[in-house]
Amino acid sequence: MSDKNDGKLIVTGIVGTVIAALCCFTPVLVVLLGAVGLSAWLGWIDYVLLPTLAFFIALTLYAVWRRQQRHANQRNE
């Protein structure tokens, strides 16, 4: 992976985390699904959103770790 790919991975992780957090902790998703008549889906939404949030947090941490490893290796060379 290059620095450019590490940057994209970090941005993807942060954006996904923010979107998942907004949907988990605010009524944004409830209002949107209710407005379009899909409020029946809200019963299982926590089973999807919480693992999604955990995945994006882990993705962000992995990308930061990879970037730090890359920079440490470049300094040692």
DSSP code, position 39: G
Q: How many CB atoms lie within 10 A of CB 18?
A: 12
Most confident of 11-15, 19-23, 29-33, 67-71: 11-15
Given a contact cutoff of 8 angstroms between Cβ atoms, the answer to whether 16 and 49 are in contact is no
* 56: pLDDT strictly greater than 90: yes
The residues spanned by each domain of the chain are: 3-76
Percent of the chain with pLDDT over 70: 96
Q: What is the pTM of this model?
A: 0.77
* 1: pLDDT strictly greater than 70: no
pLDDT in tens, 3-20: 678 788 889 999 999 988
